[in-house]
Amino acid sequence: MIDLLVAGGGPAGLATALHAARVGLSVRVREPRDGVVDKACGEGLMPGAVARLARLGVDPAGRALRGIRYLAGPARAEALFPGPPGRGVRRTVLHDALRAAALDAGVVVERRAVRDVVQGADRVVVDGTPARYVVAADGLHSPVRRSLGLEAGTRGRQRYGLRRHVGVAPWTDLVEVHWSAHAEAYVTPVGPGEVGVAILTSVRRPYEEQLAAFPALRERLRGEATSTVRGAGPLRQRTTRRVAGRVLLVGDAAGYVDALTGEGLSLALAQAEAAVAAVRAGRPERYEADWRRVVRRYRLLTEALLAAAAVPPARRALVPAARALPVLFDAAVRELGRPA
Ligand SMILES: Cc1cc2nc3c(=O)[nH]c(=O)nc-3n(C[C@H](O)[C@H](O)[C@H](O)COP(=O)(O)OP(=O)(O)OC[C@H]3O[C@@H](n4cnc5c(N)ncnc54)[C@H](O)[C@@H]3O)c2cc1C
């Protein structure tokens, strides 16, 4: 019987598998998509994510990110990460690097979806394959989470994400967040001649129409599109708990608030580490408290920003306030830049 079966070969699943293989567990990943996987993402690795990847020996090529800049019309505010930089990394590059490291560490990656998960006293049987533990890292809409009854339903205003890349030379080494009345556009340099532009909004419209709300940014994006539009959402996904018997939820599958602070990958990597530690100790239930500890600060910051962004006068005041209160904005960016 294998020690760990991982459902999902995205960053959370591959990092979990890599941690598990490195501590001597036998591990298998099941991922239905073939080859290098792309996905709607802002592609900004915060400094903590870069550090966690480095500890795994994974060093994907990208563009150093030194901090964050908020812009709304003429107002702008910026702050630098206090320590080492983050990195803008194309999703395909990140996936390729994680997958190569996992295969190198002896992880078996099978091209198939997980469908049937049956819990037993000393094992979990996944589509007929027994494993001591299962990590469900099957993304925002996690079928495994749903099949185990761990969804808590959604409430409130829903937000969605869309992204596309443009072939222009990056004009800054900061992540730029452009604010309009109903959406934010996140510009992340990912290479010497390419930037990614992710738009987050609660108003569902085609990408081009969304971009029209940012005329100054659109002016700067006078290059060829280098990728097609990809979308994701609704972003907020609530879960009742993160451990059910011998199954642990990791990454977006464990629940998600919003991409506003660009921390999904940092959290996924931290959760992967915590889940493997709990499995290795033979105490899966321990992961619940670790998960809460990992996400606490992210949830507080993201919920606070979302609450402000949802009320038009507060939303309009966000960037001027960040400029008027640099100590506060600096503190928030310091939190995002905190090393792992
Ligand atoms: C618009 C947008 C912008 C974002 N910007 C940033 C950012 O700048 N920085 C950042 O850190 N984070 C960002 N995020 C969040 C980040 O993309 C996610 O947190 C991250 O991708 C989570 O990784 P994951 O492995 O949990 O899920 P995923 O990357 O979604 O991987 C899940 C995998 O599971 C597979 N799967 C699905 N069903 C099954 C099944 N039944 N069996 C087996 N496998 C299955 C899927 O094929 C997929 O490969 C952003 C998200 C969005 C939507």
- pLDDT one digit per residue (tens) for the chain, 340 residues: 999 999 999 999 999 999 999 999 999 999 999 988 899 999 999 999 999 999 999 999 999 999 999 999 889 999 999 999 999 999 999 999 999 999 999 999 999 999 999 999 999 999 999 999 999 999 999 999 999 999 997 777 899 999 999 999 999 999 999 999 999 999 999 999 999 999 999 999 999 999 999 999 999 999 999 999 999 999 999 999 999 999 999 999 999 999 999 999 999 999 999 999 999 999 999 999 999 999 999 999 999 999 989 999 899 989 988 888 888 888 889 888 887 7
- Closest protein CA for atom 49 of ligand 1: 10
Residues 29, 40, 251, 262: is their CA dihedral positive or negative? positive
Whether the CB-CB separation of 304 and 261 falls below 8 Å is answered with no
Token look-up 């802002």 returns: 42
| Ligand 1 midpoint to CA 75 (Å) | 32
| Ligand 1 midpoint to CA 140 (Å) | 6
119: enclosing H helix or E strand: strand 117-119
| pLDDT tens string 270-304 | 999 999 999 999 999 999 999 999 999 999 999 99
Give me the pLDDT at residue 254, please.
Answer: 98
CA-CA distance, 78 to 336, in Å (whole number)? Answer: 13
This prediction's pTM: 0.97
Q: What is the mean pLDDT of the chain?
A: 95
116: which 2 tokens?
A: 């049937």
Which residues share a beta bridge with 119? 124
Identify the CA nearest to 81 among candidates 57, 51, 42, 40.
51
> For residue 201, which phi and psi values (nearest 5 degrees)?
-165, 160
CATH 3.20.20.60 is the classification of domain 2-156+234-337: no
CA-CA distance, 137 to 256, in Å (whole number)? Answer: 12
Mutation choice for ligand 1 from 30, 138, 256, CB with most ligand atoms inside 8 A: 138
- Closest protein CA for atom 38 of ligand 1: 138
| pLDDT tens string 58-80 | 999 999 999 999 999 889 999 99
Per-domain boundaries in the chain: 2-156+234-337
326: which 2 tokens?
A: 């640099």
The residues, any chain, with a CB within 8 Å of residue 82's CB and separated by 6 or more, are 334, 337, 338
Length of the chain: 340
